[in-house]
Amino acid sequence: MSTTDRRDFLKTAGVGVAAIASTSTVSAAPKSAKVVLGIIGPGGMGMNHVRHLCERDDVTIAWVCDVDESRLAKAAEHVKSTSNNPNVRSTNDLRHVLDDPAVDAVFIATPDHWHAPAAILSLNAGKHVYVEKPCCHNIREGRLMADAVERSGKLLQVGTQSRSTEFVAEAIQRIREGEIGEVLVAKAWNSQRRGSIGKSQPTNPPEGLDFDTWVGPAPMVPFQSNLLHSIWRWWYAFGCGDLGNDGVHDLDVALWGLNPTTHPERVTCLGGKYYFDDDQQFPDTQYAVCEYAVDGSATRKKQLIFEQRIWSPYRQEMYENGAAYYGTDGYLVMGHTTGWRLYKPKDKLVAERTGKADLVAHHDNFLNCVRGDEDRLNADIRAGHLSATVVHLANIAARTRSVLEFDTENETITNDTQGESLVARQYREGHWAVPG
């Protein structure tokens, strides 16, 4: 497949749900001007965005925003030292960024519980949004984000960058063109060795951390040393486990190839803490199965399988993290950051390719759409909400130990009261960032 063919496919291969907002009609930034950005959460992955964006000559980072003074200072200094903007402004309150009429778009790389609140506030303020995965902390927030995109007419790109990676797009196109027949089952896996987060007791937040703002609209909890940074993802109130961290990349790629048109109807998940003895609340071992209706059939189904072992640094099917697609005339196995192999019956290898992740291409797609040079996001809220919903349903099923029946139109769990209570979350009463 030629580079042009792959790029054309990327423009048309987004997964959509009719009930989720379309993002094809937006007000673009002036093509002659640099896109003016605010970076909300420039630590970890956020700092990775800062580094790449500072290498571009078509953007200006006007603001960096973080509740940790040391991370804020580091990000601001990097922007200044690279000459992207010697006058970059710093704040610990994202409202200052959103109040600036010069800002065209924001990058949001906060903890998961801030993704939807920050994105919705940004869309309401007339800003385009690039938000890290998973796009939301719970299913209801994903719907609220889709509603905000539709209401605002602004763009929202989710940080599942494999959807902008050309070798991944080539594999998906081969699947869509029927090279392995009809795909009825896709599998994703996340196999790696994480470290323990240990056990900790409540204590005072460190100097320079605005912990009240960090907690934000979530219910207030005492500070613990193993809450942050990045450790927040192992706590129910703030993260989505490793399924919502690395796992969602593989799951999203698996869904792209399976190509369902809506959410799964049934989800179950077994798992638990089989290895780590620490404070983390999410499983270190998970096996989830999702069942999807096939369009136009009352009985035929498709299936998505997810496996996760975060104590196991071993490859399966040749790749440490990846996805496999099982068709009626072959199968394709892919590592979303390394390459893929396509097999026909009797394990005959007929095609393969190597490659690497391409975050810059995902930035390109987003910024080109903001300027109006491209007309389709590769990872819009439709695709992001589909993948995030699987993350949340699998985590809910693991907690409830149930086979969940999911109403795909109303986005409710119909057979488990505890599970339905976890479709949304509780917020801190009266907080200014509660999404709605």
The answer to whether 60 and 29 have CB atoms below 8 angstroms apart is no
CA dist 383 and 347 (Å) reads 32
Structure tokens at 325: 């697609």
Taking only the tens of pLDDT, the chain with its 436 residues reads 454 454 454 444 443 333 344 444 455 665 558 999 999 999 999 999 999 999 999 999 999 999 999 999 999 999 999 988 999 999 999 999 999 999 999 999 999 999 999 999 999 999 999 999 999 999 999 999 999 999 999 999 999 999 999 999 999 999 999 999 999 999 999 999 999 999 999 999 999 999 999 999 999 999 999 999 999 999 999 999 999 999 999 999 999 999 999 999 999 999 999 999 999 999 999 999 999 998 767 788 999 999 999 999 888 888 879 999 999 999 999 998 999 999 999 999 999 999 999 999 999 999 999 999 999 999 999 999 999 999 999 999 999 999 999 999 999 999 999 999 999 999 999 999 999 8
Strand partners, 353: 340
CA dist 303 and 289 (Å) reads 7
Find the largest Cα–Cα distance for the chain.
62
The 10 Å Cβ neighbour count of residue 373 is 12
Strand partners, 315: none
Phi and psi, residue 323, nearest 5°: -150, 150
CA 107-230-268 angle, to 5 degrees, is 95
pLDDT of res. 83? 83
Pinpoint the alpha helices (H) of 99-246.
112-124, 139-152, 166-176, 211-215
pLDDT of res. 26? 53
- The full set of domain ranges for the chain reads 3-163+360-377, 165-195+233-356+387-421
β-strands 89-91, 403-407 pairing: unpaired
Instruction: For 282-348, give the DSSP string.
Output: S-SEEEEEEEEEPTT-SS-EEEEEEEEETB----BTTBSEEEEEEETTEEEEEETTTEEEEEEGGGE
- The CATH architecture assigned to 165-195+233-356+387-421 reads 2-Layer Sandwich (3.30)
pLDDT of res. 31? 59
| Superfamily holding 3-163+360-377 | NAD(P)-binding Rossmann-like Domain (3.40.50.720)
Structure tokens at 5: 């063919």
Residues 6+ apart with CB under 8 A from 142: 116, 135, 136, 381, 384, 385, 388, 389
Q: At what angle do helices 381-400 and 139-152 cross, to 10 degrees?
A: 170
CA dist 155 and 408 (Å) reads 24
User: Dihedral of the CA atoms 66, 71, 76, 81 (nearest 10)?
Assistant: -160
Tokens 């590769």 -> residue: 378
User: Dihedral of the CA atoms 242, 243, 247, 250 (nearest 10)?
Assistant: 180
CA dist 246 and 337 (Å) reads 12
Measuring CA to CA, how many Å separate 406 from each of 262, 298, 335, 393?
A: 11, 16, 30, 9
Q: What is the DSSP letter of 40?
A: E
CA dist 323 and 317 (Å) reads 9
Structure tokens at 171: 């594999």
Strand partners, 308: 190, 286
Q: What is the end-to-end Cα distance of the chain in Å, rounded?
A: 45
Amino acid at 357: A
CA dist 245 and 262 (Å) reads 22
Please tell me the pTM assigned to this model. 0.94
Strand partners, 61: 37
Element (H, E) at 128: strand 128-131
For 435, the 3-state DSSP assignment is: coil
Strand partners, 40: 65, 108
The answer to whether 392 and 173 have CB atoms below 8 angstroms apart is no
Pinpoint the alpha helices (H) of 125-279.
139-152, 166-176, 211-215, 247-258
**CA-based radius of gyration for the chain:** 21
